[in-house]
């Protein structure tokens, strides 16, 4: 799981009747731990220090990104193109 997918920057759609969120929450915690992600609704200070981030969801389909490509094309690439720091 890529760290921008289902992040605060690129939240995932919850899906009809929360289907997407419920599916992801049904997976074992070990899957998320491997990618420094958590399905928990909060992240402890120790987890934050270790770089763990929670999955972010939105009911607003206009603010949701269903794929990494969506996130890249609509959020990450425009940010990189606008970055004049280098």
Domain ranges of the chain: 12-82
Residue whose pair of structure tokens reads 């009747």 in the numeric block: 17
Locate 34 and state its tokens: 């491997």
So what's the pLDDT on residue 20?
95
In 1-86 the beta strands, taken as DSSP E runs, fall at 12-13, 37-38, 53-54, 57-58
So what's the pLDDT on residue 3?
79
Question: pLDDT by residue for the chain (86 residues), tens digit each?
Answer: 567 889 999 999 999 999 999 999 999 989 988 889 999 989 999 999 999 999 999 999 999 999 999 999 999 999 999 988 86
């Amino acid at each position: 799981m890529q760290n921008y997918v289902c992040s605060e920057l690129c939240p995932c759609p919850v899906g009809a009747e929360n289907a997407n969120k419920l599916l992801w929450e049904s997976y074992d915690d070990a899957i998320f731990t491997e990618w420094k992600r958590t399905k928990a609704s909060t992240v402890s200070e120790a987890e934050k220090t270790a770089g763990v981030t929670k999955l972010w969801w939105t009911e607003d389909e206009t603010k949701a990104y269903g794929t990494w490509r969506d996130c890249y094309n609509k959020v990450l690439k425009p940010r990189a193109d606008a970055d004049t720091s280098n």
